[in-house]
Amino acid sequence: MTGWGCRGGPVPRGDPHGAGRRRPLLLLLAWLSLGCGVPSAQGPTLGTAAGVPEPPAPARPRRQPPRGAWGPWGPWSSCSSSCGDGVALRTRRCLRSTEEDTCAGDPRQYRLCQLQGCPGGSVPFRAMQCSLYDNKPILGTSARYRWVPFHGAPNSCDLNCLAVGHNFYYTFGRVLDGTRCSPGSPDLCVGGRCLSVGCDGILGSGTQPDACGQCGGGHDTCFFVHRLFQGTDPSSGSFGYMNVTKIPAGATHIKVTDKSRNYLGRCGRCRPAKGRSQRIWHFCQSDFVFRGRILARRLVGQETRYEVEVKTPYRHRFPLVPREYLWVPNTCGCPPLREGDEYLLMARRHVNYEHTLNRILLQGDGYARPWTLREHRLVQEAARRCPQPSLP
């Protein structure tokens, strides 16, 4: 009699009688040892490897193709402008085989080229680009417009032009390379992007001078100077200031701090001069007394510079020109001067120790009153209280 083994083959079976009675037990043990079992509805038979998941094979690392190498830079192109500021371009090629990836980096490089200034009366570069579309059909109509630059659009490197006499502007694509991003900005537009000029002259390089003034340096070509001033000597400088120290030529990143309660560039409440006695005193002590209109205001370091149109000079010990710069030794807005308004100003001449500065200085508590006909009469009255100066 035969049965079936693990692999479905016949297994001989003996007589169930007599000495052959032990064979079924031995056969069962051999059957189990061979990995056979009784099948069930729960899963595979005992000893079957189908129920044990095999571990996944380790993923092979993906081989990255090598990158190509850049060839040398080509020569610089000519400047994009014939005067003023412009940009020059140079390119390089990526040297690679078919199996290599592209080179990392930019194949183009731009640098600032500064030529001699444009002649007086020249049309600004952006305005010239807008004027190229004057009296040409636009917007799908036959209407003709004159165009001037418009600087209020989102992208400063688009050629945004305002229709003269109308309240709309039109974008004529990108500005030409080398156009200023905005009036007075040192940044230039290249390829529709506004790029800053690094100290190496390369646009977009981001290279900055270190604390020693070296372009791209590591702050290791100069030394640090620290001094503490503790003195009670009387004032020895101009306008009651005290000469503390001399700053060496070429010094950078200068920081002056004051731990006392004295005034050192701190802003507080403005205390403008007013009243008859102060008006007379300031008039007699000032080198310049004039009616002026504030044209522009700019912060320069820890000082404020006003561009002033001189309207009526009442007193000047030194020559005055129709346009002057008026300096205030703080950035606090004291005395308060607003652009477009006219004031009666009393200031002094300021010449530094090295005679490298010669300017008109208005102290924070100096006399600066809005000009009115009443102020005009009062200043003429104050002029009779002190002798008229003679021109040098």
The helix/strand/coil state of 89 is strand
Q: Return the minimum-mean-pLDDT range out of 48-52, 112-116, 219-223, 245-249.
A: 48-52
Quickly count: other Cβ atoms within 10 Å of residue 381's Cβ: 12
Quickly count: other Cβ atoms within 10 Å of residue 313's Cβ: 13
Per this entry, what is the length of the chain?
392
Phi and psi dihedrals of 348, rounded to 5?
-125, 160
Confidence category of residue 41, pLDDT binned at 50, 70, 90: very low
Secondary structure of 133-177 as H, E, C letters? CCCCCCCCCCCCCCEEECCCCCCCCEEEEEECCCCCEEEEEECCC
Confidence category of residue 266, pLDDT binned at 50, 70, 90: low
Half-sphere exposure of 322 (CA within 13 A, CB side): 0
Q: What is the pLDDT of residue 80?
A: 83
**CA atoms of 298 and 300, how far apart (whole Å):** 6
Q: Helix H segments across the chain?
A: 23-33, 125-131, 276-285, 373-383
Confidence category of residue 157, pLDDT binned at 50, 70, 90: very high
pLDDT tens digits along 276-286: 888 999 999 99
**Which percentage of the chain shows pLDDT scores above 90?**
34
337 residue type, one letter: L
Distances (CA, A) of 385 to 281, 283, 317: 9, 9, 16
Q: Quick one: which of 261, 352, 341 has its CA closest to 306?
A: 341
Phi and psi dihedrals of 214, rounded to 5?
-90, 130
**Which percentage of the chain shows pLDDT scores above 70?**
75
pLDDT reading at 126 higher than 90: yes
DSSP E strand stretches across 193-235:
193-195
Q: Quick one: which of 335, 327, 328, 343 has its CA closest to 365?
A: 335
Q: Write down the mean pLDDT value for the chain.
A: 79
Q: What is the pLDDT of residue 53?
A: 59
**CA atoms of 280 and 286, how far apart (whole Å):** 10
pLDDT reading at 38 higher than 70: no
pLDDT tens digits along 166-214: 989 999 999 999 899 988 888 999 989 999 988 988 998 888 888 788 8
**CA atoms of 201 and 76, how far apart (whole Å):** 13
| Contact (CB, 8 A) for 174 and 158 | yes
Confidence category of residue 389, pLDDT binned at 50, 70, 90: low
Among 126-135, 227-236, 256-265, the range with the most confident prediction by mean pLDDT is 126-135
Q: What is the pLDDT of residue 22?
A: 47
**CA atoms of 294 and 316, how far apart (whole Å):** 19
Residue 294's H or E segment, with its range, is strand 288-300
Residues sharing a CB contact under 8 Å with residue 360, sequence separation 6 or more, in sequence order? 287, 288, 324, 325, 326, 327, 347, 348, 349, 350
